[in-house]
Structure 1
Amino acid sequence: MLRVIAGLWRWRRNPLRRTTDLLEAWVALAAILVIVLGGGFAGLAAGSAAHEALQRSVRIQAQQRHQVWATPDRAAARPSAATDPEAAAGRETHRRVDAHWTAPDGSEHSGPVAAPGAVRAGERFRIWTDAQGRVVTRPLDASTARAHAVLAGLGAAALVGAVTVGGRQLVTRRMLNTRHRRWEREWERVGQDWGRAGAGS
């Protein structure tokens, strides 16, 4: 921004200054202000809205989702490195296993669930379900919601910046094209006298 302001001051009384030079500097200053002020406001507004919505989801999911104990009906074998590239790479994988569990409302359920690694038959592990015992994903936690809200704010600010920069480039390109057309017209007018003795005298 300081560079643009310095450019405006330099062009203020410069005899070589063209109208387009000063206009281009003002466009650059306006773009910087829009990016700083508009981008900051958009990022804050988007981040705040996302934070409020996500925190509401955190509260709702915390009320609706419950951890219960699941018991596998048979062992979940550890896959070999030859058949599971992820296991060979040392990554922890979840394996589908038939299990049964009791829902928070007391009803009994069974079916395939994701087991945290190799488990033996009868070895219990935790799963997430709703009040009726249907298997659901892990509820969103507050820290993850805050991180998503920050990303939403940064994304909104970046979008404002990208649109502003694109608009500035479009305006500057049109100004440059207009300047080139003027130069071409001037060269055509002056070029008619080239090569003539005493031309312009």
Structure 2
Amino acid sequence: MTRRAGEWQRRLWRWRRSPLRRTSDVVEAWILVAACLLAVAGGLLAGLLTAGAMRQGADGVRDRSRPVSAALTQEATWGAARPTSSALVWGTVRWTDRDGAAHTSRARVPATARPGSHVTVWTDGHGRLTPPPVSHAEAAFQAALGGLWAATAAVGVVIGGAKLARARLDRHRMDQWAEEWARVDTRWGRKTG
């Protein structure tokens, strides 16, 4: 017999008939099988549902966001140190929505923008400023990462539940062992401990 075959026989001892095998051993084996199947199926389902919901949410935000040309009305503020040309700083912008109403608010604008220059800002359906929507690639990455986290959490819950069930079975086996030991010890006519 090879070493690998002997290892599998040790791992599968709960499934073989034996006078030493208890009912709780069989229950534990079935719990492990169910936990493995549930971890795989539950993790996959949780990951796919979460990724789909995140992707759908990002698509919804992208659909509701509209780019609007706005004029910078004041010099952008950047604090103590002058930022690089690619940095974004806060500036006051003015734009007109579809209904012709003028709006003024603070938005992130390029550090090189000067008063009177036009910048692109993003608004929602009500004319309020919003952050620019994420690109399709960023949305796909965020959805994949969210799905991975959800799958990991689902697998963790299943594994935690299986460990809790095994701990309860171990406690039950220890109680049974203590009862048996007390009976055997009494039959011998003495008490230990």
1:189 paired residue among 183, 187, 190: 183
In structure 2, C-alpha distance between the alignment counterparts of 1:165 and 1:102, rounded to whole Å: 56
2:27 paired residue among 23, 27, 36: 23
The answer on 1:117 being equivalent to 2:114 is no
Correspondence for 1:199: none
Amino acid at match of 2:40: V
Counterpart mapping for 1:31-180 below 5 A: 31-58=35-62, 60-61=63-64, 64-73=65-74, 75-81=75-81, 94-103=88-97, 106-117=100-111, 119-130=113-124, 134-180=128-174
Amino acid at match of 1:45: L
Give the CA deviation at 1:174.
1.2
Equivalent pair of 2:14/2:26 in contact (CA under 8 Å): no
**Structure 2 gaps, min length 5:** 1-6
* TM-score, L = length of structure 1: 0.69
Give the CA deviation at 1:123.
3.8
Give the CA deviation at 1:10.
6.5
SS at match of 2:80: coil
SS at match of 1:100: strand
In structure 2, C-alpha distance between the alignment counterparts of 1:4 and 1:37, rounded to whole Å: 25
Equivalent pair of 2:44/2:151 in contact (CA under 8 Å): yes
Equivalent pair of 2:69/2:118 in contact (CA under 8 Å): no
Give the CA deviation at 1:128.
2.1
Amino acid at match of 2:180: E
How many residues are treated as equivalent by the alignment?
183
Give the CA deviation at 1:178.
0.9
Give % identity.
Answer: 33
Amino acid at match of 2:46: A
Distance 1:135 1:45, change over 3 A: closer
Give the CA deviation at 1:157.
2.0
In angstroms, what is the RMSD of aligned CA positions?
A: 3.5
**Structure 1 gaps, min length 5:** 197-201
SS at match of 1:185: helix
Give the CA deviation at 1:165.
1.1
In structure 2, C-alpha distance between the alignment counterparts of 1:186 and 1:150, rounded to whole Å: 54
Equivalent pair of 2:77/2:90 in contact (CA under 8 Å): no
